[in-house]
Amino acid sequence: MKIENTKIKNINVHFWVLLNIAICAIINDYAVYLTGINYGISLIISTIILVVTNFFIIKKKIITIKSDFEWYDIVFILMVIILAALRIAIPDTTYDTINYHIYLQENIRIDKINFDFFAGKTFNGFLFPLGDRMHYIARYLLGYRLGTIISYYSIIVIFYQFKNVLNHITGKRKLNSFLAILCWTSFILRQWTGFYYIDTFSVAFTLGIIYFLLTEKDCFADKSKIWYLTALTGILTGIKLPNLILIFPVFLIFLIKRRKQLKLKSVPVYLVAAIIFIIPFIIYIIDNIIQTGSPLYPFYNNILKSEYFGNYSWVEPLFGIPNWKYKLIWPIYTSLSKDGYGDRFILTDPIWAIGYVISLLYLIYGAIKWKKRNKELFLISIIAIIMTFLWVQFLYGYMRYGLIIPVLYSLIIGVLINKLAYFIRRKFLSSIEKEMIYVFFALVSIFLVWIFALSIITEVDLKQVANNYKYVFKDRNGITIKIDGVWGVDGDDSALTQILREKDVPIYNLQKQLYSSSEKAKKQHEEILENNKDIYVLINKKMFKIKYLYLYGDGFELEKIRSYTVDEIPYLEASDVLYLYKLKPRYIIKDIQIHYEQKNIE
């Protein structure tokens, strides 16, 4: 089959917007990293480039955009608006956000070892930051609280991609707008909506790739489609490197199905595709090599040999599946487990167990009733099960790392419900007028929105929400705290320090355990402490005890300088207080906990 250059059709407008945000972040990163240009100027230039490019490709119909909107979609959109209205005023203080996401948002060009010193934490400060840079566009323009708006928007993107796959498999039916809400029935997906986490971006782009592969039958015989696919995959990788593990079987399956489209004479097309694929993240790899000596620091350091980490392959010590028996039933075990494996502060999620069992049963059914199987549903089931085993084997079976999997499970369940509903209608309800069915859907919609609103209201303190709304337009960048020394962080808390520091003041990570496996890092850490006697830390009131214990365990006493309220530092929650301390070296004592309880540090 000859490689041709035709048009890319029917790209959902919301997916196209999210894709443009990702491309904007990529252009900004190259501009800032290579030239040192001011971020605001870079953002203006990249926006102009994208507006002109979009005008050209849409006018020339190189890509056709569609809205996919139906009136029934308002049910889901109202749910997202309700969630955003009740959550967005509360500043994001989740663990990974204060640990490294904010640091990665802002520091594309900074020397993270010789100016700062592992301020985003040893394990996380060198991750691919494309997802974080996407968030930073909104935070830069709208402020800290409203900056999470792209997270809410990504859920709308997921909804439409989910619905489009449903429509493709079952035919376009009004019921699919309701069934698409299943993509949010996974509690963990809703749990991570509205924060500076990047996992919902991963789901949106993975669904986008799957939908494109399903609908474009000649995707490997058309160079524009090959390049579009590799661009999406490169962006998915730049958002989070482990995404490659889960998307790999998707490409492998479709390459096997459409192997006749691959031709040796099209090698130049594939070489261009390879270049397009690496563009979204190659700059991060180069920077990692320059700074640490390893492209994937700190992973696989037994092979890549960075001097700033031990000679072993790092794995997450907190998670891991006990044995192969647990691996076989892991989605079921996580659903039944009382602690919600891997995310111990959230509820367990039954969709993992239900979807896993239904997917396996459909695979068995499809194998037995080969001619009667729905080919594309069977294909999605294969993808979901393979992804599940890869998630269990390589990603610790950690729920958030496999967020696409329960979405695919929900998709499979949605297809089956759709088929069952239309079978019942044809068999038993054919005499009922369409208007009555629409009234029924309307009542169900009102019920769903009402129940959803009540469930969200129980999760938040409405008085706290109201108090925080006073600060939604006050928490933009520009506020700094001046000190006559350097900043220290200890215990995964670089976010406020990063936002509030003056740009010529470095941040040093003070946790000794982070450097215990590297003599070079350990020596540099000791030199920092020797050469910088005036080290300051910021600790918010809610986290004071644990931060104090971290610092005390690493050899420091605290000298209080002053405190700040939300009126002075609007990045805080309305009820929080921020303390500024100067650190003093101390002698080690054995019982830190008793020492804390005997002293009134605050």
46-80: pLDDT as tens digits:
999 999 999 999 888 888 899 999 888 888 888 88
Give 528's contacts (C-beta < 8 A, 6+ positions apart): 117, 508
Query: What letter represents residue 283's amino acid?
Result: I
Indicate the pairing of strand 535-540 with strand 577-585: antiparallel
pLDDT reading at 342 higher than 50: no
Q: Is the pLDDT of residue 545 over 90?
A: no
- Closest to 237 measured CA to CA, from 134, 128, 100, 316: 128
Q: Per-residue pLDDT for 594 more than 50?
A: no
* Inter-axis angle of helices 267-292 and 223-239, nearest 10: 20
CA distances to 64, 205, 445 from 15, rounded to whole Å, are 12, 8, 25
Average pLDDT for 499-511: 91
Q: Could you tell me the two tokens for 114?
A: 């010789």
What is the C-alpha to C-alpha distance for residues 137 and 386, in angstroms, rounded to an integer?
35
User: What is the C-alpha to C-alpha distance for residues 217 and 462, in angstroms, rounded to an integer?
Assistant: 50
Task: Identify the pLDDT of residue 214.
Answer: 92
What tokens were used for 576?
Answer: 């929080």
State mean pLDDT over 373-395. 90
Give the DSSP H or E segment for 180: none
pLDDT in tens, 284-301: 999 999 999 999 888 888
Least confident of 160-164, 268-272, 416-420: 416-420
Indicate the range of 39-43, 106-110, 258-262 predicted with least confidence.
258-262
Q: CA–CA separation, 163 vs 273, rounded Å?
A: 29
DSSP letter, residue 117: B
Of 39-53, 217-231, 377-391, least confident by mean pLDDT is 217-231
Can you give the pLDDT at residue 347?
A: 44
The answer to whether the beta carbons of residues 81 and 66 sit under 8 Å apart is: no
Q: Determine the average pLDDT of the residues in 190-219.
A: 91
Q: Average pLDDT in the 503-513 region?
A: 87
Tell me if residue 231 falls in helix, strand or coil: helix
The closest alpha carbon to 294, from 275, 279, 313, belongs to: 313
Proportion of the chain above pLDDT 70, given as a percent: 85
Confidence of residue 529 (pLDDT cuts 50, 70, 90): confident
pLDDT of residue 158: 94
Give the integer Cα–Cα distance in Å for 559 and 582. 5
Residue 333 has pLDDT above 50, yes or no: yes
The per-residue pLDDT for 581 is: 94
Q: What is the pLDDT of residue 431?
A: 57
- Across the range 398-426, mean pLDDT stands at 84
Is it the case that residue 588 has pLDDT exceeding 50? no
**Predicted local confidence at residue 374, as pLDDT:** 85
Structure tokens given for 388: 């599940």
Q: Which residues contact residue 131 at a Cβ distance below 8 angstroms, ignoring those fewer than 6 apart?
A: 198, 201, 202, 238, 239, 240
User: Does residue 344 have a pLDDT over 50?
Assistant: no
DSSP 288-303: HHHHHS-TTTTTTHHH
The whole-number average pLDDT for the span 97-112 is: 90
What would the pLDDT profile of 122-177 be if each residue is shown by its tens digit? 678 899 999 999 999 999 999 999 999 999 999 999 999 999 999 999 888 777 88
Name the helix (H) or strand (E) containing 571: none
β-strand pairing of 556-565 with 577-585: antiparallel
Q: In terms of Cα–Cα distance, which of 402, 384, 395, 339 is closest to 188? A: 402
| 209 band by pLDDT with thresholds 50, 70 and 90 | very high
Instruction: Indicate if the pLDDT at residue 590 is higher than 70.
Output: no
Q: Mean pLDDT of all residues in the chain?
A: 84
Best CA proximity match to 15, nearest among 190, 215, 291:
215
Q: Edge-to-edge strands of the sheet including 535-540?
A: 507-509, 486-489, 535-540, 577-585, 556-565
Neighbours of 560 (CB within 10 A): 12
Q: Which residues of 505-515 are buried (b: 16+ CB within 10 A; e: fewer)?
A: bbbbbbbeebb
**Looking at the predicted structure, is the pLDDT value of residue 259 above 80?**
yes
